[in-house]
């Protein structure tokens, strides 16, 4: 769609953890070096943490490409599981039979598997992604698995990857035994301004961009401001910016366009739309809710208006789809349809941004009325005069 307009071979800012697009910032290089060292030296437990969207999974996928075939790797992504379920999942990752097997049988089969691979001088690595979601009992089960070892070597190496909450969980007193098993710990930080520029140019290069300066200098600064250096947010901003730019026939993306995208996605604002609605307890505090009622009614009316617009746009999208099918592949006609479609998408983004701004304004009005009511209720005439008390 917008690829040909911007001279791209493919979309450069997809949200999938594609190792082809991994940008090796100093932070990524540091974490990768730790992982590489830990695997080469068979360093037991490894813990990697990083903010949401910082590129942890992409880095792990890149690591998997580099791991020799003689290493057997199991990957667990679903971590909202109890110990017994986790043990079954681990066994399944290494193609072990789990049907009708209790915990003792599963452990016996896993131990036999690990001994067999060790005898063949083949390594076994278990990677657990989103490890911050593991219940403490499941973490304890993982610690117990580390007891499956020979006299001098670990039979299985475990890499736990998660958000900063994982570190907080491991800092609890009852996790002390687990922490003692960790031999390598590293944290993946967000990108700084210079690295954000390099990140965007790197992904454009991989996508075959003819112009690496499609985002001007002010746009790059604005992307950093709203993304805070988090790769996933950078991707989200840049991809939407391409949609906006294509719809408006803009070849070079500037600050204003990035600001429009950020506003539509509620990045860098006081909060999302949900946060803009008053809490039930706050409504009760207004006093019989009479003060809030007119504002809430106005808010609901505006939301209904937006819903009607969105429904209209959905109908328009369906009509565009039917029109697209009827065109039967004529390139010039298809481009017209796609352009029309992207413009409708931009209208949808703009409508959401306007609603968020209106709701925020209504919230401010509600807060002002609450303050006014509070001042009145606490004024001196509401309290007995000291002289009257005498």
Contact, 38 vs 183, CB < 8 A? yes
Q: Is residue 294 predicted with pLDDT exceeding 90?
A: no
Residue 56 in this model has a pLDDT that exceeds 70: yes
Summarised one tens digit per residue, pLDDT across range 154-205 is 888 999 999 999 999 998 888 988 898 898 999 999 999 999 999 999 999 9
**Which of 25, 59, 58 lies closest to 196, judged by CA?**
25
DSSP for residue 160: E
Binning pLDDT at 50, 70 and 90, where does residue 18 land? very high
According to DSSP H, which parts of 74-208 are helical? Answer: 83-93, 103-119, 136-145, 164-170, 176-180, 193-206
Is this prediction's pTM over 0.95? Answer: no
List 188's β-bridge partners, or say none: 50
Looking at residue 80, its pLDDT comes to 85
Low-confidence winner among 154-158, 242-246, 276-280 (lowest mean pLDDT): 276-280
**Alpha carbon separation from 277 to 175, 225, 272, 282, 296 (Å, rounded):** 40, 26, 10, 10, 9
Q: What is the mean pLDDT of residues 334-361?
A: 60
3-state secondary structure at position 287: coil
Res 345: pLDDT: 61
With 50 as the cut, is the pLDDT of residue 282 above it? Answer: no
């Amino acid at each position: 769609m917008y690829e040909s307009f911007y001279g791209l071979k493919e979309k450069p800012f997809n949200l999938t953890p594609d190792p082809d697009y991994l940008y090796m910032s100093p932070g990524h290089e540091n974490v990768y070096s730790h992982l590489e060292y830990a695997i080469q030296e068979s360093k037991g437990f490894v813990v990697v943490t990083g903010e949401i969207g910082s590129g942890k999974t992409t880095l792990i996928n890149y690591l998997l490409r580099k791991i020799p075939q003689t290493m057997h790797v199991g990957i667990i992504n679903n971590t909202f599981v109890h110990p017994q379920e986790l043990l079954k999942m681990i066994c399944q990752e290494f193609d072990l039979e789990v049907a009708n097997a209790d915990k003792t049988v599963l452990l016996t089969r896993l131990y036999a598997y690990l001994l067999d691979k060790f005898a063949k001088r083949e390594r076994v690595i278990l990677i657990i992604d989103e490890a911050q979601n593991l219940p403490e009992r499941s973490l304890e089960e993982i610690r117990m698995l580390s007891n499956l070892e020979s006299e001098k070597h670990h039979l299985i190496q475990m890499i736990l990857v998660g958000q900063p909450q994982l570190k907080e969980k491991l800092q609890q007193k009852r996790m002390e035994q687990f922490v003692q098993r960790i031999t390598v710990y590293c944290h993946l930080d967000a990108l700084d301004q210079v690295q954000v520029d390099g990140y965007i140019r790197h992904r454009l290069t991989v996508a075959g961009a003819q112009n690496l300066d499609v985002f001007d200098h002010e746009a790059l600064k604005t992307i950093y401001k709203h993304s805070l250096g988090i790769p996933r947010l950078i991707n989200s901003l840049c991809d939407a910016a391409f949609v906006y730019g294509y719809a408006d026939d803009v070849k070079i993306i500037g600050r204003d366009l990035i600001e429009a995208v950020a506003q539509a996605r509620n990045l860098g604002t006081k909060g999302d739309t949900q946060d803009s609605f008053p809490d039930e307890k706050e409504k009760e505090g207004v006093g019989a809710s009479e003060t809030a009622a007119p504002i809430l009614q106005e808010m609901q009316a505006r939301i209904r208006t937006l819903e009607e617009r969105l429904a209209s746009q959905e109908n328009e999208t369906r009509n565009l789809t039917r029109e697209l099918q009827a065109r039967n592949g004529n390139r010039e006609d298809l481009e017209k349809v796609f352009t029309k479609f992207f413009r409708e998408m931009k209208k949808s983004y703009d409508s959401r941004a306007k609603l968020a701004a209106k709701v925020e304004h209504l919230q401010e009005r509600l807060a002002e009325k609450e303050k006014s009511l509070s001042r009145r209720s606490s004024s001196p005439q509401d309290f007995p005069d000291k002289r009257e008390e005498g």
